[in-house]
A and B are shown apart, each in its own frame.
Chain A
């Protein structure tokens, strides 16, 4: 109780509340703009938060992170274009509902289930926080190394059909973090004698390049399309909850999947949605209507989506391991302010953790209230032409990348990563493995070095219970992947040549 009061005290400041308000409304806006999304917005805002208090900066970023999925559902449902990729599945049933003249109902379901999913995750996490505070100190260097390894493996494996490409990109991210002067023996690695490479590749520069500049290039080189907007009347809070309550069973299960997938590093929204959607389809009385405007499809997709962000904070805060690119970006804010996420933070600053959860709770209420009145104005945002958004993103990205150090080299590196990100997006290849490789690679290198200093025999590495469990999970993950690939090939050979 004292911890809870202390966390409320931390939050009761005007700057934190303003950050929460700006972040949550900003998140809905960027989510509703097809082609922008939370990753681009956080990449741009990230350097600006460095000058703020850690809680203020994190609250603003959490606001964008937690609320963008709400906004993203609007274009997914109304114009069949997800604001961010995580709402892709919502288009399957949301847009057919709009075509049937049920746009308002689809939006009600999306908002209601998003709210339920997020609240479910926040409550689950608040209940789990004391347990995590006890478990987190059991993670030493070898456990964190193994957990980071597991995170990388899962990032690769969960990109089904692209696992090898994801592995290449994760390895590339790990390589990028090694450039510069390494911190133990102070030797240079891949600097090619260039002084500007000695400080290494900055995470912010890479993030801005890959996400902001890359996306700006995609938009600038695409054609603007005119979108026809359906009529939507005002949506009230009770409408949202009443519609959602009809599907409470599948919404609860989807929220549960969201929490589990969010907690496991590298898994995230797509797997949560996939599992929830498959479950809902399997247990539905009308499975044949999935993909043709089944309301259950909308609610499970949105509930799973919105349960992930709060859950993804768990590995980040408890172990310092980000599960996907957005939490990896948030990790940068922690490091800038010398707040090191990990077991100690959970054990010693539980009030800070609770404050973050309460801010997540508040932002969801703020967003739902905002959506009462703003669905119509948000539809105007969707009309902004894509190429114009490209100009906007490129102009904003300069502020992030140039103000870091006023360095033209940083801009050049960000631009190079921009082109790289542009190519990845054109090829539908994932960008998150690069960022996770970059962040987790550093963690793995540091922790392996520390752990190996105390290990005499290779088996000593897994002689502690958590280390052994994590090791077995890695073996299981790799084994399952090999089995799936072998089975897939066997099936393909049985059926004859595939046209891919």
Chain B
């Protein structure tokens, strides 16, 4: 038996991954809730054709999500499942921790400034994912380079930190303008 006979091209995956049905069900339920909200979240204009109705496309697309979601759950349920549905769901939830760090980084920029926020974010995240020593230093240097390139050299629009206003007279302008 050739390699291809035993292991056909992996371009089109056929197996069912853990959490697939869970994801499809959640998507379908959200779509059902949104579909139920169609009457008061969209408008029906009397005397206009279907194509001109503001309600037409949201309703059609949500019906599509529900219909295909239902068919998908039915068809995937026939495929033998790989165990680990809830471990997979936990991994999805765990990703929110990094989103939390990211949001904190963004929220900190107008307060402590882009320079300090970026270096802290890079170093903090490097430590969080388990790097120590030289890699943490490289992460900090990377953060510095990002600021120097985007804010200092390219003057990308990012708000200045409130903390900069407390800097000495000579430093204040440089910090507000370039960092």
**Chain A residues at the B interface, C-beta cutoff of 8 Å:** 48, 88-89, 92, 159-162, 164-165, 167-168, 170-172, 174-175, 178, 182, 184-185, 187-192, 213, 216-217, 220-221, 270, 273-274, 277, 281, 287-288, 290-292, 385, 387-388, 390-392, 394-396, 398-399, 402-403, 406, 408, 411-412, 415, 418-419, 422-423, 426-429, 437, 441, 444-445, 448-449, 451-453, 498-500
Query: How long is the Cα–Cα vector from A213 to B131 in the complex, in angstroms?
Result: 20
Report the nearest A residue to B64, measured CB to CB: A171
Asked whether, in the complex, the Cβ of A423 is within 8 Å of the Cβ of B99, the reply is no
A sample of 20 inter-chain contacts (CB < 8 A) reads A162-B12, A164-B76, A168-B24, A171-B68, A174-B60, A182-B54, A187-B45, A190-B41, A273-B11, A277-B9, A395-B118, A398-B106, A406-B159, A412-B103, A419-B92, A426-B88, A426-B92, A437-B61, A445-B57, A498-B79
Name the residue on A nearest B14 (C-beta): A161
Q: CB-CB < 8 A to B3: which residues of A?
A: 290-292
A392 CA / B149 CA spacing, docked (Å) = 14
Of the candidates B10, B17, B41, the one whose C-beta lies within 8 Å of that of A189 is B41
A146-B69 Cα distance, complex, nearest whole Å: 24
Residues of B within 8 A of A292 (CB): 3
Query: Are A422 and B92 touching (Cβ within 8 A)?
Result: yes
Across the interface, name the chain A residue whose C-beta is closest to B62.
Answer: A175
Residue of A nearest to B6 (CB): A291
Q: Which residues of B contact A277 (CB under 8 A)?
A: 9
Interface string of B11-42 (1 = CB under 8 A from A): 11111110110011001100100100100011
What's the minimum C-beta distance from B35 to chain A, rounded to whole angstroms? 10
* Number of chain B residues whose Cβ lies closer than 8 Å to a Cβ of chain A: 82
Chain B proximity of A474: nearest CB distance (Å): 16
Chain B residues 40 to 81 lying within 8 A of chain A, measured CB to CB, are: 41-43, 45, 49-52, 54-55, 57-58, 60-62, 64-65, 68-69, 71-72, 75-76, 78-80
Task: Give the residue name and chain of the B residue nearest to A165 (CB).
Answer: B72
Q: Choose among B45, B62, B118, B157 the residue that contacts A171 (Cβ–Cβ < 8 A).
A: B62
- Report if A159-B12 is in contact (Cβ < 8 Å); known contacts: A290-B4, A391-B126: yes
User: Once the chains bind, are A406 and B158 in contact (CB under 8 Å)?
Assistant: yes
Could you tell me the distance between the alpha carbons of A164 and B65 in the complex, rounded to whole angstroms? Answer: 10
Across the interface, which residues of A come within 8 angstroms of B72, CB to CB? 164-165, 167-168
Known: A171-B61, A292-B3. A217 touches B98 (CB 8 A): yes
User: Taking each of B17, B65, B105, B106, which has the highest tally of chain A beta carbons within 10 Å of its own beta carbon?
Assistant: B106
Which residues of chain B have a CB within 8 Å of any CB of chain A? 2-4, 7, 9-17, 19-20, 23-24, 27-28, 31, 34, 37, 41-43, 45, 49-52, 54-55, 57-58, 60-62, 64-65, 68-69, 71-72, 75-76, 78-80, 88, 91-92, 94-96, 98-99, 102-103, 105-107, 109, 118, 121-122, 125-126, 129-131, 135, 138-139, 142-143, 146, 150, 154, 156-159
| CB within 8 Å for A167 and B68 given contacts A162-B12, A395-B143 | yes
Q: Is the CB of A160 within 8 A of B52?
A: no
Instruction: State whether B24 touches A403 (Cβ < 8 A).
Output: no
Complex Cα gap A281–B125 (Å): 47
Given known contacts A161-B12, A174-B57, A388-B139, A217 and B95 CB-to-CB distance under 8 angstroms: yes
Within the complex, the shortest CB–CB distance from B140 to chain A, in Å, comes to: 11
Cross-chain contact B157 with A281 (CB below 8 angstroms): no
| CB neighbours of B58 from chain A (8 A) | 175, 178, 189-190
Pick from A385, A395, A423: contact of B23, CB below 8 A.
Answer: A423
What would 8 more interface pairs be, CB under 8 Å, given A221-B94, A399-B150? A161-B12, A161-B13, A172-B27, A191-B41, A290-B4, A391-B139, A415-B102, A500-B78
Q: How far is the CA of A498 from the CA of B76 in the complex (A)?
A: 12
Are the CB atoms of B129 and A190 closer together than 8 Å? no
- Let me know if B91 and A387 touch, CB within 8 A: no
Do A422 and B95 form a contact, CB below 8 Å, given A175-B58, A428-B17?
A: yes
Instruction: Report yes or no: B68 in contact with A221, Cβ–Cβ below 8 A.
Output: no
Beta-carbon contact of A499 and B43 below 8 Å: no
Q: B146 — which chain A residues lie within 8 A by C-beta?
A: 395-396, 399
